[in-house]
Amino acid sequence: MSVSSREEQKRLDTLAVNNFVEYLRIPSVHPNVDYGDCIKFLQKQAKELDLPIQVINVRPKKPIVILTWVGKKPELPSILLNSHMDVVPVYEENWKHKPFAADIENGNIFARGTQDMKSVGLQYLEAIRRLKLNGITFMRTIHISFVPDEEIGGLEGMKLFVDTKEFEKLRVGVSLDEGIASNTDEFALFYGERCIWHVHIHCPGQSGHGSLLMENTPGEKVTHILKRFYEFRKTQQKLLKDNPTWTIGDVTTVNCTMMSGGVQSNVVPPEMIIVIDCRIPVTVDIQKWEETIHNWCAEAGSDIYITYSQKQPQVPVTKLDDSNPYWIAFKAATDELGLKLKPQIFPGGTDSRYLREIGIPAIGFSPINNTPVLLHDNDEFLGVDTFLKGIEIYCTIISKLANMEDLTG
């Protein structure tokens, strides 16, 4: 990307960092997020960029904010640049810097959201600022969306939004969304996600005094089931160790995250409940996996039953081959920039799954490399130079995608 002078480049860089810091200082943190200040910030950005903005509430206090840069051929499928406004909670006592102060020290910006993912949302906007200043126009319309509640599953955000008439009017052809930082010179690129199951296993049984040796107690059932899960867990650890090219997204992870039951230390409760966080890769037959869980429960004893607080379906991956012209354009951009990509399955969950579920290709990519992976961690940070380099990367990627030829034939 060209700029008119070195002074102009410096001005744009300073503006970009200042905007990023201002965005980071908005504590859009769970629980009970107030998105009002995010909306005001984005309205100011839209005015500066001379872009129309709309705020759509799919649920009260759950705004979808969309800025739009109309292309020369708006009838073509559009490009969606998606990010989420919310961030996860912090344990402030474990941070060296105030998590919403956005302090800059030794060339790094410390704040919750620097990696996940306020950086990407701002890089979209700052890339568009530079493209517009250079007088560049595109055939395809570009929508920049800022959505709520991704960090708690997006159930009242993107999941609902994709089923609305407002989303249909966007005519989205491809979506970009967040990735994860890389601690090497490679850039992580995600084309699919494991599905998330939160499995609540209810183990009723004989209750009574804690001094007795009764049969069919809830604790015995819990013990057997956990033994089965953790034996399976070891097989997945071994698979990951034996296959150096695999990532965590290629195996099934299971972890006991909650246990409940009982009111007093000398009373055997009538029921105990364990919660298993399970992330299932796209290569696994989820019907057979569910049968396996039920078989383990049947082995443990009678009357055990399962409920789910989250049970996502398997969603087809985005194809990274010649059948996907959007991938060809994206890859052409990263090749031009000399970026090393590492395609993989996302280990957690993002809003991309809701796009892929309705047939829209989605690519997860954060232009962050040579950086410790600190999403959801204490002292989350991003280098100023890395942030600014990401803007340049998006200038090229956006240009390639938004100027794709008509593919309808």
Residues marked active site are found at 86, 150
Of 79, 177, 86, nearest to 128 (Cα)?
79
At 95, list the tokens.
């941070």
* Contact of 315 with 193, CB cutoff 8 Å: yes
* Contact of 31 with 89, CB cutoff 8 Å: yes
Q: Tell me the C-alpha distance between 186 and 351, whole Å.
A: 23
Q: Tell me the C-alpha distance between 21 and 46, whole Å.
A: 17
Q: Tell me the C-alpha distance between 309 and 327, whole Å.
A: 34
Phi and psi at 214, nearest 5°, equal -75, 160
Torsion of CA 140, 143, 79, 138, to 10 degrees: 30
At 366, list the tokens.
């954060």
* Contact of 351 with 177, CB cutoff 8 Å: yes
> What is the DSSP pairing of strand 267-268 with strand 381-383?
unpaired
